[in-house]
Structures are given as C-alpha cells and as structure tokens.
Amino acid sequence: MKAKMTINRAFTIAKVDPRIYGTFVEHLGRCVYEGIYEPGHKTANKLGFRKDVQSLVKELGTPLIRYPGGNFVSGYNWEDGIGPKENRPRRLDLAWKTMETNEVGIHEFAAWTKDVNAEINMAVNLGTKGIEEARNIVEYCNHKSGSYWSDLRRKNGDEEPFDIKTWCLGNEMDGPWQMGAKTADEYGRIAAEAAKMMKWTDDRIELVACGSSGSGMPTFASWEATVLEHTYEHVDYLSLHVYYDNRANDLKGYLAKSLNMDNFIKSVASVCDYVKAKKRSKKTIFLSFDEWNVWYHSNAQDEELKEKDPWAEALPLLEDVYNFEDALLVGCLLITLLKNCDRVKIACLAQLVNVIAPIMTEKGGDAWRQTTFYPFMHAANNGLGTVLTSVVDVPAYSCEEFENVPYIESVAVHNEEKGEVVIFAVNRNSDESTEFDIDLQGFNVLGINAFSELSGHDVKATNTKSNGNVKPRDKNTAKAQGNLVSAELAPLSWNMIKVKVQS
C-alpha cells in the first residue's frame, strides 16, 4: 500500500497549546492513594509521594493535571483537605462509594505537581456547593496575603500562592449520576455567577464551563447552547468528554473511532460559534477536552468491587489493563486533537495513575508503563510547535459505523525552535505495510533525526510489571532525499518520524 502526505511551511492550522497534553488525577480508586501517594513505600519522599511514579510522570511529559475530579468533585469540601492531617475528616464519597481520608489535599497536591513539572487545572464543586465556596478557594490558592483565606493558606504552610491559572466550573452537571445534577438553565446560571466572583477575585484565571457529559446525552448540543447563553462572556472554554471501547471486538471499527472524536469537536465548536453569532460577540470560546480515553475493560469488575466492599479505602476501581490495539487508538485520538488544535487548547487524558491510566502501580512494589504510555509520551514531548495543514493521499476503508476511514491517520508539527518537523502516523491496515512519502514543501530538509515505531504485537498484548514488551523501537530506515521523506510503516503501527529542517 502507498500513501503520500503533502505539507507546506506556509499553510498551518495553529500553534499547539502544550496543555493539550494534560492528564487527570481524581480522588477515585487507587489514583491518589496507592498511586501517586503511598507513605511507607521504599521510594516515598517526605510528603509520602512515590518517587518512582513521579519519575514516570515526568517521562510522560504532561504539563497540566486536572484535579480533584471528576464525579468526586461534585461532593467535595475543599476545606477538608487543608490544615493538620490529624484534624482532617473522613468522608463518605458518594460518587464512587468509597471512603475519602483527605490525607492529600490542595497543599500536598500542589507540592507534587511542582515536583513533576506540571500545573494544576482545578475543578470546583458546583454540585453540592456553590459560588461562595468557588470564590473562597480561588482566594485561598491565588491571593498573596492580607485576607482571611490567603492568610489561612500561609498559616497552613504555603506563604506563596499556588497561582492556579485554569479552573473547571464543576463536572458533568447534566449527568443524573452527578451529585447536584442540574438542568442547563440551572447550571448556566450558577456557573455564570461563580465565574464572575472567581474572576473578580483573580482576573488572571481562565475558566472552563461544563459541556454535555457525552455526545450521546439526550440534551447534547441544546445543553451547550443554553449553558453558553448564560456564561459566554464569563468563561474561556467549554468542556468535552468521551470514552471509547471495543466491546464488539471489531478492530477496524475500533481504530476508526477517532473519526467520532473529530466530528464531536467540530459539532461543539459549531455550537460555540452559533452562540457567538447570536450574541454578536467578538470573543471565541475554545474547547477543553478534559476527559478522553479508552475505558471498558474493568467495568464488570468495578460493579462487583463496589458491592462486595463498599466504603473501603483505595478500592482498585477502573483499572483497565490496556493492550496494543488500545495504544493504536490512543495514537489516533492524539493525532485528532492535534489536527483540531485551533479550537482544542486543553485536553486531559483520563486518568494518570492506576485509574484508566498509562501508569500502573503495585502497593509496596513497582510502577510500570502501560501500552498507551508510549504514544502519549511521544506526542507530549515532541508534538510542540505549529500543526501544518496536510493533504494525504491514502486508500480508505468502510466499516459498520464509519465510511471513508483512511488507512493512515497522520499529522505534522513544525517545531521551529528545534528545527524539526515531527510526523505522527498510525497505520490502521492489519495486513499490509505502507510506503509513506512526505513532501515537505517550503522546507530545507537536512536529514532524519529519529524514527520510532510501535508495532509487531498481537492486538491483545499487554504490559505487566514483569513484562513490558509492548514498547517502541528505534529504526534507521526512514530516508530523506531533497524535500521528500520516505518510510515504511508496518501493519498496525504507531510511528513518529522526526525530520531535521533548517530553522
């Protein structure tokens, strides 16, 4: 099979906001407790955070981490997580039917994110709480001194503000599973009032309003429009959430699901622009895709666990063990986010450790990389710069849900500072390798810096703490001749080609 990508230095989509490589830590399952935090572990630092996990998070390269939920935040009292740990209350977490000890709160998490070189994307509770608690936490986190909440932060050990820039106004507020679920008008009103007070407290912050919790919700699109009618001039982003599965065990259909993500993004952007036009506004609302991933492997086990051991601490919930085909889809989804970087400025892989995560841990033991770790690591560390408009001539296939699915899903990112054009590509073809040519018009190509490929595994192959064989390997087979780069993409493969160009 043959495919050709044509790009031109002069034709671009947008500059990548690094926050598109965000992730998510929720007080859920073993994400926090026994995940990032385990006092007594052989690698634990003085605050109780695992250094082996910190090392993997830094390797992954995520610059932004959404916290503390998720469904959890809709019943969370942020004040429970400040002050001496011995005085913090234990609470029933109704979202996940577990016990929250509040050992980790905003001070501890802020210290941890600093250690892993990431910023916090903080979510506020607009389910069981409201605008007063929302403005108070901004004052606590961001005001320097001289007020009740800022001085309480200083008393609790942090003289300097946490200076959190991005904030989520609740979570999935249209979902009947959500504590304090609301209609679009109810949520729109409280979100607008919370936004006003939060920005009056700190006018440097950016705010994310809740879109529908999924495109399959009955109110999808009308929810977005109504919420933006209330919040348009007060917020900066609208959220999107999606999870994909392969319950049908249909590989071609599964790997095509990035087309659904692309359509979802364009649909929500259209609603935002409709409200912009209706309001005669000059402001553009951008998108925060702050939950996305594969999630389905652990569903049956989770129901059994919650019934068997309700109100336990750190139940092993949502612990999907990812396989090779999941890594390929995650690669396709990353490419889709990049191709929409003109509107998607924030995105959060949900989640970071143990809970539907690229990193897994064993209590008291090792931490390891899941298959999905590698496409994300490649993109987060190398997909920075400006996304180029590409024309790709490639054969396509059709499946039950999608038509005209290109066998090669690809994107090119120009990093002028590094003097590189980085091409990410997934070969969806399970039978044939692809002769992939890239015509880099307007560039002075100097050679190939790297060619990394994840391929050659059974689609159901997984990584474990003792066997991490599903990982990329470096190749030296990509060639550059003039402005034409060529490489052979193996069947069912994730690929990263780094082309050296003159700055």
Helices (runs of H) and strands (runs of E) counted in the chain:
11, 24
Q: Where are the beta strands (DSSP E) in 367-427?
A: 367-369, 386-393, 396-397, 405-406, 408-415, 420-427
Residue 287's alpha-carbon distances to 24, 123, 267, 477, in angstroms, are 16, 16, 11, 38
Q: Where are the beta strands (DSSP E) in 135-184?
A: 166-169
217 SS3 class: coil
> Which of 172, 224, 325, 409 is labelled catalytic?
172
Q: Whats the size of the chain, residue-wise?
A: 503
- 129: phi then psi, degrees, rounded to nearest 5: -115, -170
> Which of 291, 319, 420, 453 is labelled catalytic?
291
At what angle are helices 184-201 and 222-231 packed, to 10 degrees?
A: 40
Q: Which two tokens stand for residue 73?
A: 């935040």
Instruction: Indicate the Cα dihedral angle 66, 68, 74, 78, nearest 10°.
Output: -130
Q: Is 172 one of the annotated active-site residues of the chain?
A: yes
Q: Is 307 one of the annotated active-site residues of the chain?
A: no
CA distance 212 to 388: 30
CA distance 152 to 156: 6
Residues designated catalytic? 172, 291
